[in-house]
Structure formats: C-alpha cells, structure tokens
Amino acid sequence: MRVLMVGAGGVGGAVVRIAARRAFFEHMAVADYDPARAEGAVAALGEDGGRFTPVRLDASDTGAVRAALAEHHCDVLLNATDPRFVLPLFDAALAHGAHYLDMAMSLSRPHPTRPYEECGVKLGDAQFERAAEWERAGRLALVGMGVEPGLSDVFARYAADELFDEGGIEEIGIRDGADLVVDGYGFAPSFSIWTTIEECLNPPVVYEEGRGWFTTPPFSEPEVFDFPEGIGPVECVNVEHEEVLLVPRWLRAKRVTFKYGLGDEFIGVLKTLHKLGLDRTDPVTVHTEGGRAAVSPRDVVAACLPDPAGLGDRMRGKTCAGTWVRGTRDGRPREVYLYHVVDNQWSMREYGTQAVVWQTAINPVVALELIASGAWHGSGVLGPEALPPRPFLDLLTEYGSPWGMREDVTSGSE
C-alpha cells in the first residue's frame, strides 16, 4: 500500500507517528499547503522516517492532488484536512482510481427557512450522491473514519451485531466528554476551532424511526452523562455530527443522537462568536497597512488561538469518546456504553502528541491496515458501520490502545 496523506497539522502529524510503527504500508507521502509542516512531521520521526516523503500540495487543487497521487504511485488518499477540502480530495481520488478515507464528511447547509426543524443539505450528502460512481470504479470511499465519527460508528455496529436483539435497539447515542485542562490559557480548544465552530453552531441533527432526520436549535436537550475512568459527570448537549447521518443508513435504531460535553464557558464563547459574526466563513474586507484585504472571520479566530497540536505539554486529564446503546437482549432491557479513553500524559509520553488529536489519528491508521490486509474491503461510499467491527476493535487493542464497555447493572446484565 502506498498512501498520500493530505494535511500535516495536528491529526496528520499524529497519523505519521502512529503509522511509522506499523509495517503494513510501503510508503506515505505527507502533503500540506505549508511545506514546513509536512517536513516537520517527517523530520520528527528521525531515522524511522525512511518510508515518508514531505510534499507541498494545495488540497483545493484537484489537478495537483491527482498529479501527486500519480507521482508517488499512491493507491489510497487519506484526507487529514478540515472539511472544506473534502470534495476536491474526494473527487481527485476517484478520478485517479485510488481508495479514499476521511475523518469528517462534506459540509452541511441549513434549511433556508426552517433551520431548526428541517434538514437542508446534510453532512455527507455530496459524497453519497456519488456512491454509484465509486461502485462502478470498484473503489472504496470510507467516510467519517476518525474517532467521532469513526470508532463511535464501529462501536454502534458491534453493539447491533453482538450485544442486542435484532431490531431491539431503542437508541444509539454518541456521548463525548473529557476533563482536560489547558494550563496558562483562558480559552484554548483542544481541537480545530474552525471545525468546532462548524459543528457546534450548525443546527444539530437527530434521527427517529418513522420521522427520519430533523434538526433542533444548537445546544438543545442537555443531559448529564457519567463518563468512565474517573472523568465523571459532564453535561452534554446536541451537536451536529456525522454519526447521526451515518448510523441509520446501515443499522436499525429507533433514535440516534450525538451529544458533546462542551461546558457552560465554551458554549458561552461560541454564542458570543456567533452574535459578533465571527463564526462566518465568507470573507469580509478589512483595511491593513498593505491596503484592503478580504479575510474570513472564522479564520481570524483560528489564527488568534493557540494551535491545538502544540498544547500537549500544558494539557492534563483524559478524553473519552463512546457510544451509548439502549435496547433489549434476549427480550430483557439492556444498556451499555462502549468507550475509548486516552490520558494526555500517556499520549504525550508515548507519542509526543496531545490526547484529542492522537485519539482521532489512530483510527484511520487502523482502518488503512485493515484495507491493506483485506479484512476490510468494499466499493462505493461507505461508513465504518458498513464493515465488520471485530477486526477493527481487535487491531485497535493490538496497537496498545484498548477500548472498554460499561454495562448498566440495573438493566439485566449478564
């Protein structure tokens, strides 16, 4: 397997460090618009960097991406950029005849008149519209293969296959929480603020059997969820996320939700950014010493905040991603939480990478290895829940990052 990875930021850099320890691929071209980032990601490997080549590449230039795939003889494109670049990379991979993986799907667009009741363009719609083309090409586009979406979807498929009665799932709810603290900063998101603004301020999507997909106002339906391994209770709210759009395509559940533990302060900052128009992506004109310039307010916000990839030394605590499932097993009520916890102190010691980006990065590497071995295969545009979960979970454990399951002892556990 020869891989072109586009995006050498926090997650891309972590992908390189994780992949360097595995032997399943022959070569990985590490591409970024900023050549220094690509070069730095490879240089960090030292003598282990022989299978990696840094490349300067504009992710928005489909022709250039196709040329890079050809030059480096790549049969897989791994998209480690933000969602703005999903479609040009997705298109380039198909045109070249390469498989494709991403960790975030094509962007949504709210309903023009009823944004908090009805869906407009949903996450991933632009990709699923081209599924037949991928099928005819005999190539796999594996979408949403990070941690959330990604591992959370694998957990959902595992629960449906092995833990619940057929047709017995009442709700699949992704629940994400952490107790991470960044010392020395009043406000420092642990993940890309560009992506965080996008998913948190868009209308959240909920799925219900018989009703389909619908939307609610941002931060709706707050609940306190008790996270494992010492994290404890965290208030979680509805957030737009890919799992709600992916899970119902392959699994039967009466309700599917995604809730994120943001905290009052974080929600307050996001609401303020929205009120000031600083969440906008369309450019505004500003006056500079060099003359007039068009800039995106959201890009300015991102530029003013610290790079999440560089916060690991100041960060402490754990992050938890997981899938809560409620339904029946052998006709009796059952409730489980399948989860993956990463301690920042451990990820910094073992990989030199902060917990949130490391937890995201390990999953596409595991998926690439399964594709290389043939354990995962297919054609078309598929989500992680379309593929067998056990090989993924076993390999994740082999990578030294085990997952866990908590069962509600009051619901008739075995």
What is the reported pLDDT for 9?
Answer: 93
**Spatial distance between the Cα atoms of 337 and 335, rounded to a whole number of angstroms:** 7
Quick one: CA dihedral 6, 10, 16, 18, positive or negative? negative
- pTM value is 0.92
Instruction: Report the pLDDT averaged over residues 316-335.
Output: 96
- Predicted confidence (pLDDT) at residue 63 exceeds the cutoff of 60: yes
Dihedral sign, CA of 397, 400, 401, 407? positive
Range name among 197-201, 305-309, 352-356 with the lowest pLDDT average: 305-309
What tens digit of pLDDT does each residue of 96-111 get? Answer: 999 999 999 999 999 9
Mean pLDDT value across residues 223-240 = 95
Share of the chain above pLDDT 70, in %: 98
Q: What is the mean pLDDT of residues 254-272?
A: 89
- Mean pLDDT over 335-358 rounds to 96
Nearest CA to 7 out of 39, 25, 30 is that of: 30
Lowest average pLDDT, out of 16-20, 203-207, 404-408, goes to: 404-408
Return the pLDDT at 241: 96
User: How many of the other CB atoms lie within 10 Å of CB of 396?
Assistant: 19
Q: What is the pLDDT of residue 410?
A: 37
Residue 412 has pLDDT above 50, yes or no: no
Q: Stretch 356-376: mean pLDDT, rounded?
A: 97
| Residue 58 clears pLDDT 70, i.e. is over it | yes
**Better-predicted residue by pLDDT, 158 or 265:** 158
The pLDDT score that the predictor gives to residue 256 is 98
pLDDT for 280 beyond 90: no
Q: Is the pLDDT of residue 171 over 80?
A: yes
Cα–Cα distance between 178 and 317 in angstroms, integer?
8
Per-residue confidence at 414, pLDDT binned at 50, 70, 90?
very low
pLDDT above 90 for 264: no
Answer with the residue of higher pLDDT: 375 or 285: 375
pLDDT band at 286 (very low <50, low <70, confident <90, very high): confident
Instruction: Let me know: does 360 contact 122? Beta carbons within 8 Å.
Output: no
Average pLDDT over residues 24-28: 97
Q: What is the rounded average pLDDT for all residues in the chain?
A: 93
Tokens of 172: 């699949």
Q: Say yes or no to pLDDT of 409 above 50.
A: no
Q: Give the tokens for residue 94.
A: 């198909």
Asked if residues 141 and 376 have their Cβ atoms less than 8 Å apart, the reply is no
pLDDT band at 40 (very low <50, low <70, confident <90, very high): very high
